Amino acid sequence: MADNRWSLPNSPPPPLFLGRKERNYVKQLNDEINERVVGQTVIYYPIDLNTTNFHVLYGEAINKTFLPPVRIYALVAWDGEETSTDISVLDKVAKITINFHRRRLTEDQDLFVREGDFVLYAARFWEITKLTEPRLLFGQQEHKFEIKADCLRARDGLFPEPDILGEIQQFIIDSENNGGVNQQQMQQALNAYDIVIVGGTDAAFLDMVANPAAYTGRIIYLATLNPSPVAPFFQAGKFYFNENGVWSPSSILVQF
């Protein structure tokens, strides 16, 4: 007769329907929704802790050094502007809230969000002032789900990197006031950032589409669409960034 005696397992079983497979499934769903459906992106500028000269006592740094920017898919909420007055000073502060997918950052992109870092969103720089982790996955304390970052609009001159898109938009406005934008002049303005203007049928652009890995780190401006567009080049009037051999569009349109 078979031995039907019950034996004690070495470790307790995982919660019903709330184990590793379910957590991975939730991660996959959120990755696809954030990147393929919503599509909101921010450019993240982490501070370089190794080269930034921090004060030995207070731990602060007047001049900060930043690592190369990283594109991140996240959910961004506009929190509006607040106006404050102090005797003879009137000040306006714009705020946004960025909700990061925690596992996507830490496991796939090896990135850790910190207060004091900067992000580029909607052609504006924002400083992360507060971080919270308000949600747990399936109520499990050891599995955080998101990172919520409260951000303030960075004042002019606070972030050392020039606002490329803002400068380009200002160039377009100035050119229109002087009778129209000249594409040759526009290209000269973009040369300072090693950005080229391409059309959807240009040989150079077709090679960029066929061999994306050869153009890592490059930025292009797509002036016209290809009659048979391929992903992600579905919209003209945008900048496209190549990160590790993958092209991604900018979040705003810049028409000229």
Q: Which of 173, 233, 250 is nearest to 199 (CA)?
A: 233
Mean pLDDT of 130-136: 89
Let me know if domain 20-153 sits in CATH 2.40.128. no
Task: Answer whether 128's CB lies under 8 Å from 118's CB.
Answer: yes
Which pLDDT band, with edges at 50, 70 and 90, does 40 fall under? confident
Rounded mean pLDDT, 134-142: 82
Encode pLDDT of 141-172 as tens digits: 788 888 999 999 987 767 665 455 555 555 55
Backbone φ and ψ of 153, nearest 5°: -60, 125
**pTM for the structure as a whole:** 0.59
pLDDT at 82: 83
Q: Which band of pLDDT confidence, cut at 50, 70 and 90, is reported for residue 234?
A: confident
180-218 tens-digit pLDDT:
556 666 666 676 667 788 888 889 899 999 999 898 878
Per residue in 83-110, pLDDT tens? 877 777 777 888 999 999 998 988 888 8
The percentage of residues in the chain with a pLDDT greater than 70, rounded to a whole number, is: 79
Mean pLDDT calculated for residue range 45-64:
78
Residue 32 pLDDT exceeds 70: yes
With a CB cutoff of 8 Å and minimum separation 6, the contacts of 190 are 168, 196, 197, 221
DSSP collapsed to 3 states, the chain:
CCCCCCCCCCCCCCCCCCCHHHHHHHHHHHHHHHHHHHCCEEEEECECCCCCCCCCCCCCCCCCCECCCEEEECEEEEEEEEEEEECCEEEEEEEEEEEEEHHHHHHHCCCCCCCCCEEEECCEEEEEEEEECCCEECCEEEEECEEEEEEEECCCCCCCCCCHHHHHHHHHHHHHHCCCCCHHHHHHHHHCCCEEEECCCCHHHHHHHHCHHHHCCCEEEECCCCCCCCCCCCCCCEEEEEECCEEEECCCCCCC
Give buried/exposed letters for 47-68 (b at 16+ CB in 10 A, else e).
beeeeeeeeeeeeeeeebebee
- The ranges assigned to domains in the chain are 20-153, 164-249
Q: Are 181 and 166 in contact (CB under 8 A)?
A: no
Region 172-184: what's the mean pLDDT?
Answer: 57
